[in-house]
A and B are shown apart, each in its own frame.
Chain A
Amino acid sequence: MTAPILEAAALRKHYRVGTRDIEILRGIDLSVAEGEMVALLGASGAGKSTLLHCLGLLDVPTSGAVRLRGRDASSLSAAERSRTRNREIGFVFQFYHLIPELDALENTLLPRWIGPGGGPRRSAREEREAAAALLGGLGLAERLHHRPAQLSGGERQRVAIARALHPDPSIVLCDEPTGNLDSKTGAEILEALFRLNRETGKTFVIATHNPELARRCPRRVRIEDGRILDGMDAGGAPSPGHAA
Chain B
Amino acid sequence: MYAGRLAWRYLFARWIHVVGIFGIAVGVTALVVVLSVMNGFIQETRRMARGSLADVIVTPRPRDGETLPPYAAYEKVIRSTPGVGACAPRFVHVALISTGPTTNLLRTSASLGARNAVTLVGLDPPAEKGVTSLGEALRNPPLGGILEDSRVPDPENPFAPPLDALPPVDREAPPRSVVVGEQLYRNLRLYRGQMIDLATATWSAAGNKVRPINRRFAVAGTFRTGEYEYDLSTILLPRVVLARDFLEGEEDFSEIVVRVEDPKRADAAAERLGERLAEAGLPGTTAEDDAHGSVPLAEVRDGPGGSVHERKKGPSCGRPVRRQFLYVETWEERKRILLGAIDNERRIMAVILFFIVIVAAILLFALLTTTVKEKTRDIGILMALGASRAGILSIFLGVGLVITLLGEALGLAAGLAITSNLSEIERFLRERVGLVIFRPDIYIFDHLPCEVDPAGVALILLFTSLAALLFTSIPAWVAGRKDPVEALRYE
What residues make up the interface of A, taking CB atoms closer than 8 Å to B? 53, 56, 58-59, 78-79, 82-87, 91, 93, 97-102, 110-111, 113-115, 117, 163
Give bound CA distance, A113 to B389, whole Å: 15
Interface presence of B447 (CB below 8 A): no
Give bound CA distance, A86 to B419, whole Å: 52
- B9, A85: Cβ atoms under 8 Å? no
Which chain A positions have C-beta within 8 A of B488? 58, 93, 97
Binds A, one of B89-97, B208-216, B377-385: B377-385
- B9, A115: Cβ atoms under 8 Å? no
Which chain A positions have C-beta within 8 A of B484? 58-59
- A101, B9: Cβ atoms under 8 Å? yes
- A56, B384: Cβ atoms under 8 Å? yes
- B485, A114: Cβ atoms under 8 Å? no
Q: Chain B's nearest CB lies how many Å from the CB of A131? A: 14
Give bound CA distance, A102 to B385, whole Å: 15
Interface presence of B414 (CB below 8 A): no
Interface residues on B, range: 20 to 34
Which chain B positions have C-beta within 8 A of A93? 488
- The interface centre, meaning the residue of B9, B13, B386, B488 with most chain A CB atoms within 10 A of its CB, is B386
Nearest B residue (CB) for A99 = B378
With A110-B2, A113-B5 known to touch, is A99 a contact of B381 (CB < 8 Å)?
A: yes
With A110-B2, A113-B1 known to touch, is A97 a contact of B388 (CB < 8 Å)?
A: no
Q: Chain A's nearest CB lies how many Å from the CB of B370? A: 16
Interface presence of B6 (CB below 8 A): yes
With A93-B488, A110-B2, A114-B382 known to touch, is A78 a contact of B388 (CB < 8 Å)?
A: yes
Which chain B positions have C-beta within 8 A of A83? 386, 388
- B386, A102: Cβ atoms under 8 Å? no
Give bound CA distance, A98 to B9, whole Å: 14
What residues make up the interface of B, taking CB atoms closer than 8 Å to A? 1-2, 5-6, 9-10, 13, 377-378, 380-391, 484-485, 488
Which chain A positions have C-beta within 8 A of B378? 99-100
Give bound CA distance, A196 to B73, whole Å: 107
Dominant secondary structure at the B interface: helix
Which chain B positions have C-beta within 8 A of A99? 6, 9, 378, 381-382
Give bound CA distance, A234 to B218, whole Å: 122
Give bound CA distance, A58 to B380, whole Å: 9
List the 8 closest pairs (A to B, CB-CB), nearest first. A86-B386, A113-B2, A101-B9, A82-B388, A85-B386, A111-B385, A97-B381, A91-B384
- B386, A82: Cβ atoms under 8 Å? yes
Which chain B positions have C-beta within 8 A of A87? 386
With A101-B6, A113-B2, A114-B2 known to touch, is A85 a contact of B382 (CB < 8 Å)?
A: no
Give bound CA distance, A111 to B384, whole Å: 9
- B383, A102: Cβ atoms under 8 Å? no
10 more contacts with CB within 8 A, not counting A78-B389, A83-B386, A115-B386, are A79-B390, A83-B388, A93-B488, A97-B488, A99-B6, A99-B381, A99-B382, A100-B13, A110-B385, A114-B382
Nearest B residue (CB) for A163 = B385
Q: Which of A82, A97, A163 meets B387, CB within 8 Å?
A: A82
Chosen A-B contacts, 5 in total, with CB atoms closer than 8 Å, are A78-B388, A79-B390, A101-B6, A110-B385, A114-B386
Q: Chain A's nearest CB lies how many Å from the CB of B489? A: 9
Nearest B residue (CB) for A83 = B386
Q: Chain A's nearest CB lies how many Å from the CB of B384? A: 5
- A114, B387: Cβ atoms under 8 Å? yes
Which chain B positions have C-beta within 8 A of A58? 383-384, 484-485, 488
- B387, A101: Cβ atoms under 8 Å? no
- A85, B2: Cβ atoms under 8 Å? no
With A101-B13, A102-B9 known to touch, is A85 a contact of B391 (CB < 8 Å)?
A: no
- B385, A101: Cβ atoms under 8 Å? no
Which chain B positions have C-beta within 8 A of A91? 384-385
- A86, B10: Cβ atoms under 8 Å? no
Nearest B residue (CB) for A54 = B485
Give bound CA distance, A23 to B37, whole Å: 68
- A59, B9: Cβ atoms under 8 Å? no
Give bound CA distance, A135 to B384, whole Å: 20
